[in-house]
Amino acid sequence: MASSNGVSPLMPRSPSNINANMSPSRAKSLAMRKSISKPQTAPTVQPQKPPPDFDMAEQVNEEISNKYVKGKKLGEGTYAIVYKGHVRSDPHRIVAIKKFKVDPSQQREGLNVDTIREIKYLQEISHPSIVALLDVFSSKDQNINMVIEYFPNGNLEELIRDKTVSYGAADVKAWMGMLCRAIYYCHSNFILHRDIKPNNLLIAADGEVKLADFGLARSFGDPRYQMTSAVITLWYRPPELLFGARQYGGAVDIWSIGMVFAELLIRRPYAAADVANQEVLATGGGTVAQLDKICEAVGTPSEENWPGVSKLRDYFELEKKIPVRDKPFYMQMFPTAGSVGVDLLMAMLKLDPRKRVTAQGALEHEWWTVDPRPTEKEHLPKQGGGASKMAAAEAAAPGAVTDENKFKGVAKKLDFGASRK
Amino acid sequence: MIEDDVYRASSQYRYWSYTKESLARIRQNTNDLASERVRAAFHRAHTAHPAHSSNSHNAVSAGDADADAMEIDVDVDVETLTVDEELKIVEWGCSKIMEMGEAMNPRIPSHIVATAIQYLRRFYLTNSPMTYHPKQIMTCALYLATKADHFYISLAKFVAELANLSEDDVKAPEFLLLQGLRFTLDVRHPMKGLAGGHIEMNVMADEGRLGDISKATGSAKRIGTAADHAKRLLATAAQMTDAYFLYTPSQIWLAAMMVADRELVQIYLHNKLSELSSNEATTSLQQKLMSTISACASLLESYRSPKDDASQRKEIKRIGKKLTVCQNPEKMDIVAVARAKAAEKRGGKDSDVGKALKKRKLERDMMDKDGDVFGPDLRNVPGSGED
Ligand SMILES: Nc1ncnc2c1ncn2[C@@H]1O[C@H](COP(=O)(O)OP(=O)(O)O)[C@@H](O)[C@H]1O
């Protein structure tokens, strides 16, 4: 049993019991809420006086749709137009409304699978470091609207590139902590993200970095089914996928996290094939170029450092023969990470996915307990502010005498169960 | 025991878990509403006063306009389906999904078929077969399940595997279906738990933690037989009853095991719980568990396939006939409605809308010629049906 007061799935369930004695209006108000801690029953719509023009399903949808007020357009992506909006009953609660461009006549196979999976997985996920899906509703013109948290501060990619923003090791540690907790949560729920990159790490109003874009996500754990290797943006794609592996696990996301870690430290992508040449990309040349970069940055995959690699579907002998990069190499490349930070980075960038650190292993790493302490999220640098940050970060960096005890509690604070409060 | 917190966060728990009473209530609401609307639609059709349409618009905002619509008179005498009849016709749709999954080449894995069946069952909690016939929704449910559960099959190929079906027939209801599913697509099945439980029981027996059921008494065979039986129940009875709405995945697989071998489940639970802790709380917990699982087991046991039951087949035929009469005439053709909406969106030229409707009418007439009450039959594929 998870805890003494935990309800076993084997026990009669509480929400059902609650609903049995609930007044219709109470049930209805509960049905409107979407909070994990308060499970509720589905559409218990009041039987009295239903407007005859709506089916039950439509009534439920209407109620959700009426909760929000749509405002100005924020931006436009491949599949969606994003609007700013707010909660009708509380105009201070700002949200983003992502309206999918659904034109049935344009979609050969119905709603595209990326959208379907994004909705599918986000509905099951609730974690402070993962973008929250607040509601989904349909509008009359047959469009699907996802109500998500509003992110006024852009994403990590923009922040990394913005040279007017300074940040230090403590900030990197804070962001990495959020990212590692997010992916630990996904993996313990048997979900692979498969598209981790700075561009998909959004910065919330309170400074929290949140993992977004679950369009490529999928569940894993059933070895009977093959998965596609054509996932994860090239620069963050692990060698096993570049070699065409069809069976893989959480290690693919960990590699991406390692690449994000490295990028945060040096403020440019660590292993980035030249993707300017679209032709090369289209013919699969991107894979070769990216593997070439990995050889330089991490080392050349071989049977010695990765038993079984040559059996992978698309394996080929790499031209460059570079021994796996050793710690002094990393220390020189990533001085700000410190010795323990470099250990973690190296553990995330192991060529052999079986040797790569797991999400849990990453969270248990010593790095979190050594100096410097991760920045509190409300003090994290943002775009358009905090120029004095660098000075502060440097003052606290190497050489500063630290009180060992001061950091003892840190590991505990990085609780894996941050999922639920 | 195993998946508490994780399960409680799932949409299945948050939106699709009911008591018997709340489940009956929501179905009654849906039925009442749909019946009323069918009568209203018939009324409109009979009196054929185009002016009526303005009424229905007001009804949304103005409360007393309802009265107008409510007082739909008795002179249009349509006999609408009962909740029970609706349920039977939905179950017919579920069995068709099962057949389609088996007939498809490559065969659609059973857990994806199960997802599609649960989509259909969830959809009809807030939609009535009188509004949308299951034959219009079921192929879409199956196709949506393949997309959501990562079993790629092109729509062209999917349609080619089924007789008398166009791509539009499959994808047009998708939006409607998603709305009825409240945009939740994840279904937690008991099959995974059963596989894990099977392994765990074997380990416990080998280590002497299942009392008399041990290696010496042929535990592996006994547990294996029970698990096989349970697996069949999960693919049939668990799909065709309300099990998913009323019980958690662990309760369902344990119940299926219990139908196969009651003593085994009793010993397993007893030992498992006492290993975790031993006090009165555990005893009372165990009693609660056993009674919940027993109730679920009775539900699974009560299921009889219409395949083996002539009177049930006759009953479904009768309901099907009744449904052809009371089908809401304004909602019948999802494809036409979707096309009209798309045409509207493209520029809203009336001629486009009219064209879409006319074209659709022609298609339908052709389809109706060879379709029976239940729509096109599945192509007969050798080897399908039994496994
Ligand atoms: N939650 C949000 N808060 C604020 N702005 C957002 C949010 N989501 C998206 N946007 C804006 O809308 C644009 C398009 O978003 P999206 O459709 O997610 O893009 P993409 O297709 O590139 O993933 C983004 O570039 C961003 O400017």
Same domain, A210 and A118: no
Partner B, chain A 131-150, Cβ-Cβ below 8 Å: 136-138, 141-142, 144
Q: Given the structure tokens 């998603």, which residue do they identify?
A: B178
Shortest-distance Cα residue to atom 21 of ligand 1:
A77
Q: Any idea what DSSP says for residue A141?
A: T
d(CA A174, ligand 1 centre) in Å: 24
Same domain, A131 and A280: no
Shortest-distance Cα residue to atom 19 of ligand 1:
A77
Same domain, A136 and A180: no
**Is A37 among the domain residues?**
no
pLDDT at B283: 79
**Is A3 among the domain residues?**
no
Q: Is the peptide bond before B382 cis (omega within 30 degrees of 0)?
A: no
Q: How many helices (H) and strands (E) does chain B have?
A: 21, 0
Residues of A in contact with B13 (CB under 8 A): 13, 15, 39
Residues of chain B with pLDDT under 50: 1-2, 50-74, 348-349, 366-387
Inter-chain residue contact B184 with A123, CB threshold 8 Å: yes
Question: b/e string for A165-187 if b means 16 or more Cβ within 10 A?
Answer: bbbbbbbbbbbbbbbbbbbbbbb
Residue A114: enclosing H or E segment and its boundaries?
Answer: helix A113-122
**Is A92 among the domain residues?**
yes
Q: Show the domains of chain B with their CATH numbers.
A: 188-302 (1.10.472)
Give the mutation target among A76, A82, A144, A153 for probing the ligand 1 site: most ligand atoms within 8 A of CB.
Answer: A82
Closest-CA distance, B188 to chain A, in angstroms, reads: 11
pLDDT at B224: 96
Alpha helices in A123-250 (DSSP H): 156-161, 169-188, 239-242
Inter-chain residue contact A141 with B184, CB threshold 8 Å: no
Bridge-based pairing state of the strands A90-100 and A80-87:
antiparallel
Q: What share of chain A is helix, strand, coil (3-state, %, to 5)?
A: 40, 15, 50
Q: Any idea what DSSP says for residue A201?
A: E
Shortest-distance Cα residue to atom 15 of ligand 1:
A77
Of A101, A131, A148, which residue is a domain's last?
Answer: A148
**Is A421 among the domain residues?**
no
**Is A139 among the domain residues?**
yes
Q: How many domains does chain A have?
A: 2
Same domain, A128 and A168: no
pLDDT tens track for B40-94: 888 877 776 544 444 444 333 334 444 444 444 445 578 899 999 999 999 999 9
Same domain, A186 and A267: yes
- CA B144/CA A240 separation, integer angstroms: 30
Same domain, A201 and A179: yes
Same domain, A168 and A261: yes
Inter-chain residue contact B63 with A49, CB threshold 8 Å: yes
pLDDT at A286: 87
CATH number, position A218? 1.10.510.10
Same domain, A316 and A255: yes
Same domain, A235 and A292: yes
pTM: 0.81
Give the mutation target among A72, A74, A101, A210 for probing the ligand 1 site: most ligand atoms within 8 A of CB.
Answer: A74
Distances (CA, A) of A101 to A105, A108, A115: 12, 14, 10
- CA A111/CA B116 separation, integer angstroms: 16
d(CA B176, ligand 1 centre) in Å: 26
| Half-sphere exposure in the Cβ direction for B131 (13 Å, CA) | 26
**Is A137 among the domain residues?**
yes
Candidate list A53, A90, A114, A195, residue with the active-site label: A195
Contact residues for B233 (Cβ-Cβ < 8 A; gap 6+) = B256, B259, B260, B300
pLDDT tens track for A285-321: 789 999 999 999 999 999 999 999 999 999 999 999 9
A207: closest CA among A71, A389, A394? A389
- CA B135/CA B367 separation, integer angstroms: 13
Inter-chain residue contact B3 with A9, CB threshold 8 Å: yes
**Is A13 among the domain residues?**
no
Domain that holds residue A396: 156-416
Known catalytic membership, residue A195: yes
- Name every protein residue with a CB atom under 6 angstroms from any ligand 1 atom: A 74-78, 80, 82, 96, 148-151, 213
Of A148, A167, A201, which residue is a domain's last?
Answer: A148
**Is A363 among the domain residues?**
yes
Same domain, A131 and A179: no
Of A83, A114, A148, which residue is a domain's last?
Answer: A148
Please tell me if residue A63 touches chain B, with a CB cutoff of 8 Å.
no
Q: What tens-digit pLDDT sequence spans chain A (421 residues)?
A: 333 333 333 333 333 332 333 333 333 333 333 333 334 444 444 444 444 567 778 888 999 999 999 999 999 987 889 999 999 999 999 999 999 876 655 677 888 888 899 999 999 999 999 999 999 998 877 789 999 999 999 999 999 999 999 999 999 999 999 999 999 999 999 999 999 999 999 999 899 999 999 989 999 877 777 899 989 999 999 999 999 999 999 999 999 999 999 999 999 999 999 877 666 666 667 899 999 999 999 999 999 999 999 999 999 999 999 999 999 999 999 999 999 999 999 999 999 999 999 999 999 999 999 999 999 999 999 887 443 344 334 333 333 333 333 333 333 333 333 333 3
Same domain, A210 and A136: no
pLDDT tens track for A98-126: 998 766 556 778 888 888 999 999 999 99
Closest-CA distance, A309 to chain B, in angstroms, reads: 26
Shortest-distance Cα residue to atom 17 of ligand 1:
A77
| Half-sphere exposure in the Cβ direction for A222 (13 Å, CA) | 14
Same domain, A100 and A180: no
CATH number, position A76? 3.30.200.20
Tokens of A303: 């049977």
Q: Which of B167, B171, B185 is closest, CB to CB, to A116?
A: B185
